[in-house]
Amino acid sequence: MTEYDLWKIFPRMPKKVMVGDITIRDGFQHEEKFISTAAKIFYGQESILAGCRELEVTNLGSPEGIPQFKDAEQVMAAMKSEQFKKRCARAKIDLDKDVMLTNVSIREPAVDRAIEMKKKGIGPDRILMMVSTDPEHHFANSGTTLSQYWREAERCIKKAADAGIKMCGTVSTIWGSPISGATKLEDAVEFTKRWFSIGAFDIEHADHDGSANGADRYFSMILDAMPNPEAHLCHLHETKRIASQSVLAALQAGIARFEGTLGGLGGQPANFLDDVPIRGTGEYYYKDHRFVGLVTLEDLLVQIDELGIEHGYDVDRMLWLGTKMEKTIGRRLRSEAIYNGRTAKGGNPQFGRPGLKKLIEKVGEKPGQRVPSEWPPEVKLGEKWGPTAWKK
């Protein structure tokens, strides 16, 4: 331990984090082709077996607006099935206790649907509702004013709790809105408090349009005001290619929960599915809608893993899943880790130049020798070194 120990510099930084997988919901909602029910089940189950403990499964909104999730109950039934529970048990995972399955339920009818599914034994453990600090963005997503929605959310939290379902309150447009532009961080802090005041279980702090700046102070503001890292979840999009910097800033501030999607999939709900235009949430906000997905789950796990932070995943298995996802989607996705991998612990000896061993023997050096033999084994610097040595 030295004064340069990472946790001495950033004492709030966690040594263990929870990383959620939201691929089969948020990731798939932006795809303009229907992703099969079998694929959704496969990736959801495989992610859990690879270490995921917070999985966002589907959206319970009207299939007319989001037909990508017309199979919501089928997917949830498979995730809650006895067959899958047995697979989990063989992997020493208690599906009912160890894993939290979430469904998105933006409006009250979807919350009611979640409750009915719970009664049938296929309901979610947690649901999600969302407010935006920008009233225009909020209206585009929900069709209500903010005041109307807060009242609806309060009702929904109470009825969900009675059914044994937790509520995640999402705060969006924290750093900016694609409709109204710049927003105030202080508004998002206030909205977070509002969610907790009406009984939310946790808060998803969402950068839905990639506005977050890796150098911002938002998560420090959040944890200064509400210092419970387990209650806060970081949700980032990658439109500016700096989400990894924002992840690091959030870690340094003390955030211990993150989420991402395989391949960096996701974004605004699709307004086209297969060969048919659909409603979605209207026209896309971006010039090129292919580059608006979330932080890439594979790359996020490699980043956290190589920082020495515990995360609970089999990273190699997730990289394997990422390669399969490219086949499912049918195009090159945005993960760099599935191609470039992690730092190889054993190196890549096949790339070495031949002849080093013979050269060592020829010049009379010892195997493993790194400096001239006449040099001292330990380095001792004098009083002056580097730029100081040049000062008169």
- Which residues, in sequence order, are bridge partners of residue 127? 103, 167
The fraction of the chain above a pLDDT of 70, given in percent, is: 98
Distance CA 73, CA 1 (A): 52
Neighbours of 127 (CB within 10 A): 27
> Mean pLDDT, to the nearest integer, of 14-25?
97
Q: Do the strands 100-104 and 54-59 form a parallel or antiparallel pair, or are they unpaired?
A: parallel
Three-state secondary structure call for residue 228: coil
Mean pLDDT calculated for residue range 250-277: 94
Round to whole Å and give the CA distance between 306 and 171.
30
pLDDT for res 3: 58
List the single range of 62-76, 147-161, 330-344 with lowest mean pLDDT.
Answer: 330-344
Q: What is the per-residue pLDDT for 105? A: 96
Q: Report the pLDDT averaged over residues 109-118.
A: 98
> How far is residue 91's CA from residue 78's CA, in Å, rounded to a whole number?
17
Q: Residue 311 burial by CB count (10 A; 0-12/13-18/19+): exposed, middle or buried? A: middle
Most confident of 65-69, 91-95, 205-209, 237-241: 91-95
253, 219 Cβ separation under 8 angstroms: yes
Reported pTM: 0.91
* Average confidence (pLDDT) over 246-252: 94
**Residue 241, SS3 per DSSP:** coil
Portion of the chain with pLDDT greater than 90, in percent: 79
Band of pLDDT at residue 2, cut at 50, 70 and 90: low
What are 374-384's pLDDT values in tens digits?
Answer: 999 899 998 88
Q: How many helices (H) and strands (E) does the chain have?
A: 15, 10
Digit-coded pLDDT (tens) for 300-325: 999 999 999 999 999 999 999 999 99
Any alpha helices (H) in the chain, and if so which ranges? 6-9, 37-49, 72-79, 82-90, 95-98, 108-119, 135-142, 146-162, 185-197, 218-225, 243-253, 297-306, 315-329, 337-340, 356-363
Q: In this model, does residue 289 exceed pLDDT 70?
A: no
Least confident of 46-50, 84-88, 198-202, 352-356: 352-356
> Region 222-227: what's the mean pLDDT?
96
Q: Name the average pLDDT for the chain.
A: 93
What is residue 240's predicted lDDT score, i.e. its pLDDT?
78
